[in-house]
């Protein structure tokens, strides 16, 4: 196996206020290999976006990365100076956001916004820059790119704006793209187009993608490996197939079965996860999911579980105390449902 492109080790990003410390990211470790799509899934407030911002050095005060390492091609990004980070941001690691309207400047033509992001030492004439901008629009599949370059963001539809965002992010030959809910604000048919565009570009430009999403359907269609996050921690990490066929953490399983599509149309009541995610400033003593977990036992309320291989499988990590037949049973029913769903 080749060395991973990005290695995050025990990342901790906390937010400080007078009265409390909010552990937004609390000891997150994962690796992203070359040309792979790695998914970070979870509900709002679980720390998935903050993990991404930490990688890019974009955590704003009162938040701070307080511990851990972020190794990009072997170098720790946390020890880079501001200037060095600026050289990496946009050149090596780029990011696209959920809301393509607010991320683009409404006063500048699309052409100028793409050209702005180009490296002026490589594209050293106006003609070269224009041609590259044109090429980027073609790459992301925008029809009649020549005339579109002269237009402003408000003249583009949501899907086209997201394509422009992707073009801007990719125009300097990225190695790693961080995509924070890139399709959430889009209609299903447009979401489908943007998802497949990102997949195609990943293969074509030989880059890696970290995809942040709350939508398990998007994960199933795009990711090679996935980490499920809850309350600032990874609770389960494995390859996508294993996650959907054999989820081992009660939270992963509960998330999957609470989706209307997974439960089957005959069932009138959806299985729910009672309660709400915990307050990150005031986490319960044991496992943060214990108060909402159907399988919680005494040990879950007292001790925090570790992220450990499931039955010796180092590629499948689970943060749960319960490792006996019960979770196995949970996995088996989920598998049955998945297969049943495929037949319909």
Partner 1 sequence: MSTPERKCLLELEGISKWFPRKRTVKDAVQHAERQYVKAVSDVSLQIYEGENLGLVGESGCGKSTLARTIMRLYDPTAGQIILDGRDITRLKGNALRQERIKMQMVFQDPYSSLNPRMTVYEMLEEPLKVYHFVPKDEIPQEVDRLLRISGLSPEIANRFPGEFSGGQRQRLGIARALALRPRFIIADEPVSALDVSIQAQILNLLADLQEELNLTVLFISHDLQVVRHISDRVIVMYLGAIVESGKTEDVFDRPHHPYTDVLMKAAPSLDVDARTKEYAIEGDPPSPISIPSGCKFHPRCTRCQERCRTEQPALTTLPDGRQIACHFPLNTDSP
Residues 6+ apart with CB under 8 A from 151: 109, 110
* CA-based R_g, the chain, Å: 21
Residue 39 CA to residue 62 CA, distance in Å, equals 27
Residue 126 CA to residue 140 CA, distance in Å, equals 22
Cβ-contact 178, 56 below 8 angstroms: yes
**Comparison of 173 and 264: residue with beta carbon closer to partner 1:** 264
- Please tell me whether residue 261 binds partner 1 under the rule CB under 8 A: yes
Residue span binding partner 1 (CB under 8 A) among the ranges 10-18, 257-265, 296-304, 306-314: 257-265
In the shown chain, the binding pattern of residues 95 to 134 toward partner 1, with x for contact by CB under 8 A and - for none, equals: ----------------------------------------
* In the complex, least distance from residue 274 CB atom to partner 1, rounded to whole angstroms: 8
Positions in 194-213 near partner 1 (CB under 8 A): 195-196, 199-200
- Please tell me whether residue 297 binds partner 1 under the rule CB under 8 A: no
Q: What is the layout of strands, in order, in the sheet containing 75-76?
A: 21-32, 6-16, 63-72, 75-76
Chain centroid to CA 86: 22
* In the complex, least distance from residue 164 CB atom to partner 1, rounded to whole angstroms: 14
* Binds partner 1 by CB under 8 A, chosen from 105, 157, 204, 333: 157
- Please tell me whether residue 35 binds partner 1 under the rule CB under 8 A: no
Q: What's the maximum distance between 2 C-alpha atoms anywhere in the chain?
A: 69
* Binds partner 1 by CB under 8 A, chosen from 273, 281, 283, 296: 273
* Binds partner 1 by CB under 8 A, chosen from 2, 81, 265, 282: 265
Cβ-contact 341, 328 below 8 angstroms: no
How many amino acids of this chain bind partner 1 (CB under 8 A)? 50
* In the complex, least distance from residue 220 CB atom to partner 1, rounded to whole angstroms: 5
Judged on CB neighbours under 10 Å (0-12, 13-18, 19+), 116 is middle
Under DSSP, the state recorded for 290 is G
* In the complex, least distance from residue 189 CB atom to partner 1, rounded to whole angstroms: 4
Taking CA atoms, 95 is separated from 91, 121, 298, in Å, by: 11, 22, 42
* In the complex, least distance from residue 328 CB atom to partner 1, rounded to whole angstroms: 20
Residue span binding partner 1 (CB under 8 A) among the ranges 15-23, 79-87, 89-97, 264-272: 264-272
- Please tell me whether residue 241 binds partner 1 under the rule CB under 8 A: yes
* In the complex, least distance from residue 265 CB atom to partner 1, rounded to whole angstroms: 5
- Please tell me whether residue 187 binds partner 1 under the rule CB under 8 A: yes
* In the complex, least distance from residue 59 CB atom to partner 1, rounded to whole angstroms: 23
- Please tell me whether residue 309 binds partner 1 under the rule CB under 8 A: no
- Please tell me whether residue 293 binds partner 1 under the rule CB under 8 A: no
**Comparison of 275 and 312: residue with beta carbon closer to partner 1:** 275
**Comparison of 81 and 189: residue with beta carbon closer to partner 1:** 189
Strand 225-230 versus strand 307-310 pairing type? unpaired
Residues 6+ apart with CB under 8 A from 168: 113, 114, 117, 136
* In the complex, least distance from residue 190 CB atom to partner 1, rounded to whole angstroms: 7
Residue 226 CA to residue 223 CA, distance in Å, equals 7
Residues 6+ apart with CB under 8 A from 58: none
At residue 314, what are phi and psi to the nearest 5 degrees? -70, -15
List of residues contacting partner 1 (CB under 8 A): 43-44, 157-160, 187-193, 195-196, 199-200, 214-218, 220-221, 240-241, 244-245, 254-256, 258-263, 265, 268-274, 276, 338, 341-342, 344
């Amino acid at each position: 196996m080749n060395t991973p492109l990005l290695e995050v080790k025990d990342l901790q990003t906390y937010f400080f206020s007078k009265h409390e410390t909010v552990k937004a990211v609390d000891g997150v470790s994962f690796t992203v290999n070359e040309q792979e799509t790695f998914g970070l899934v979870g509900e709002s407030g679980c720390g998935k976006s903050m993990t991404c911002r930490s990688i890019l050095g974009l955590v704003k005060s009162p938040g701070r990365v307080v511990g851990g390492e972020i190794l990009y091609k072997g170098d720790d990004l946390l020890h880079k100076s501001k200037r060095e980070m600026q050289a990496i941001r946009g050149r090596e690691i780029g990011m696209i956001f959920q809301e393509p309207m607010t991320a683009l400047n409404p006063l500048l033509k699309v052409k100028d916004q793409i050209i702005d992001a180009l490296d002026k030492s490589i594209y050293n004439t106006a003609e070269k820059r224009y041609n590259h901008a044109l090429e980027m629009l073609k790459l992301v599949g925008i029809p009649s790119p020549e005339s579109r370059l002269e237009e402003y963001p408000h003249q583009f539809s949501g899907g086209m704006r997201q394509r422009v965002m992707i073009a801007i992010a990719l125009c300097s030959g990225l190695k790693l793209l961080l995509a924070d809910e890139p399709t959430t604000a889009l209609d299903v048919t447009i979401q489908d187009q943007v998802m497949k565009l990102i997949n195609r570009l990943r293969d074509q430009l030989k880059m890696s993608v970290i995809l942040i999403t709350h939508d398990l359907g998007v994960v199933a269609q795009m990711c090679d490996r996935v980490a499920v996050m809850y309350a600032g921690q990874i609770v389960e990490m494995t390859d996508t197939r294993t996650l959907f066929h054999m989820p081992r953490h009660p939270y992963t399983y509960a998330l999957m079965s609470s989706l209307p599509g997974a439960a089957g149309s005959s069932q009138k009541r959806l299985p729910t996860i009672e309660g709400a995610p915990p307050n990150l400033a005031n986490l319960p003593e044991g496992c943060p999911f214990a108060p909402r977990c159907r399988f919680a036992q005494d040990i879950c309320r007292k001790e925090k579980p570790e992220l450990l291989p499931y039955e010796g499988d180092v590629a499948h990590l689970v943060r749960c105390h319960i490792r006996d037949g019960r979770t196995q049973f949970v996995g088996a029913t989920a598998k049955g449902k998945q297969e049943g769903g495929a037949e319909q």
